[in-house]
Structure 1
Amino acid sequence: MNSKTGLFLIIAVGVIISFFWINKEKERLEAPKLEAPKLETKVKDAASAQPAPGKTAETSAAAVIALAPAPVTPTPDRGKKVFMKKCKICHTWGQNDKHKIGPNLWGVAGAGLGAKAGYRYSKPFKNAKGAWDGQTLDAFIANPRKFIKGTKMVFRGLKKAADRAAVIAFLRTLKEQGAGK
């Protein structure tokens, strides 16, 4: 057997093994197909379709509400956790911290847009009017590029309203008597 034939055989065996391995992985990753169980109801007329004695729609709704997860309260502590995961790579928050890629956010809540001294804002940000109230912060944190077209900020935003509310609660603590670091 010459070297070309040997090389061809090695490649052919490799292709065949790869083919079977890929198909095996595909089978493993595909979810099994399950059929939904068929429910049989035996209701003769509307009068017989009444809730069981002692059970009303009101008690059923109360049971569903009791089982639902409790809503997340937007606390400053939760906001700081979200901030640490999503914001601190570009922003500082301590009273005397220097700017990073983004401006230091100490005292930002209630301040004017683009008003942090010593930070080089993009032209659209410099020209923006208004203040960082709750509604403005929420809109900006949800989608910075949509809120201020041309901003340098590359972060795509926080999609969950509860996360945004928590971050805003945290930002509101960053003032003279606030949390800082």
Structure 2
Amino acid sequence: MNYAVLILALVGLAACANTSTDTNTAVASVPDPVLIEKGAKVFKYRCAACHTMDPAKRQFFGPHLYQVIDRKIATVDGYTFTDEVKQLDIVWTVDTIQQWLEKPQQLVADMCMPFTGLPKEEDRMALLQYLTHHEN
């Protein structure tokens, strides 16, 4: 009897240890109009000089970011990526984008862009909301 109680307690504790949700994924998955609006401003001032959210527009410096979530790196038709970036096995998940926005050169060292990251977590979360829920 005591062993059964002990086993049930251990199983319960193990289950509790695995129930933490990924904050980045949770924040990005539920649309928040206030964060989306803030993310649009972050995009405008930190991304739009090189990127667009319109897949029909030609990019001069960077690929479009429309539907970037869950897209493999270096797969935008019409944009020329470096050979080094083409070789990477990265999918732009919410978590990967969060890591990249925080420290881009640590995630993709050979990416040719003058972006040093977004130091404020609130800006990263807002931009993730915008990238995830933007509609053309």
Q: TM-score, normalised to structure 1's length?
A: 0.54
Paired with 1:139 and 1:100, the residues of 2 have a C-alpha distance of 25
Query: Residues 139 and 147 of structure 1 are in contact (CA less than 8 Å); yes or no, is this contact kept in structure 2?
Result: yes
- Deviation of 1:124 after TM superposition, in Å, equals 2.3
Query: Residues 111 and 132 of structure 1 are in contact (CA less than 8 Å); yes or no, is this contact kept in structure 2?
Result: yes
SS in 2 for 1:136: helix
1:135 aligns with 2:95: yes
Paired with 1:169 and 1:100, the residues of 2 have a C-alpha distance of 25
- Deviation of 1:75 after TM superposition, in Å, equals 1.4
- Deviation of 1:93 after TM superposition, in Å, equals 1.1
Paired with 1:170 and 1:100, the residues of 2 have a C-alpha distance of 22
Structure 1 gaps, min length 5: 1-72
CA RMSD of aligned residues (A): 1.6
Paired with 1:150 and 1:130, the residues of 2 have a C-alpha distance of 13
Change (3 A) 1:173 1:97: farther
**Between Structure 1 and Structure 2, how many residues are aligned?**
104
1:90 aligns with 2:61: no
Q: TM-score, normalised to structure 2's length?
A: 0.70
Amino acid at match of 1:104: H
1:145 to 93, 97, 105: 105
Higher Rg: 1
Counting aligned pairs with the same residue, the percent is 26
1:77 to 37, 48, 54: 37
SS in 2 for 1:91: coil
Query: Residues 144 and 153 of structure 1 are in contact (CA less than 8 Å); yes or no, is this contact kept in structure 2?
Result: no
Specify which structure has the higher proportion of helix. 2
- Deviation of 1:130 after TM superposition, in Å, equals 2.7
Paired with 1:143 and 1:153, the residues of 2 have a C-alpha distance of 13
The equivalent of 1:168 in structure 2 is: 128
For residues 80-111 of structure 1, the C-alpha deviation after alignment (integer angstroms, 9 at most, x for no partner) is 11111111011111131112201111111111
Paired with 2:84 and 2:37, the residues of 1 have a C-alpha distance of 32
Paired with 1:90 and 1:151, the residues of 2 have a C-alpha distance of 14
Structure 2 gaps, min length 5: 1-31
For residues 4-44 of structure 1, the C-alpha deviation after alignment (integer angstroms, 9 at most, x for no partner) is xxxxxxxxxxxxxxxxxxxxxxxxxxxxxxxxxxxxxxxxx
Amino acid at match of 1:153: M
Paired with 2:66 and 2:92, the residues of 1 have a C-alpha distance of 12
Paired with 2:112 and 2:55, the residues of 1 have a C-alpha distance of 23
Paired with 1:168 and 1:114, the residues of 2 have a C-alpha distance of 19
Runs of 4+ with >4 A deviation: none
1:117 aligns with 2:77: yes
Paired with 2:106 and 2:120, the residues of 1 have a C-alpha distance of 16
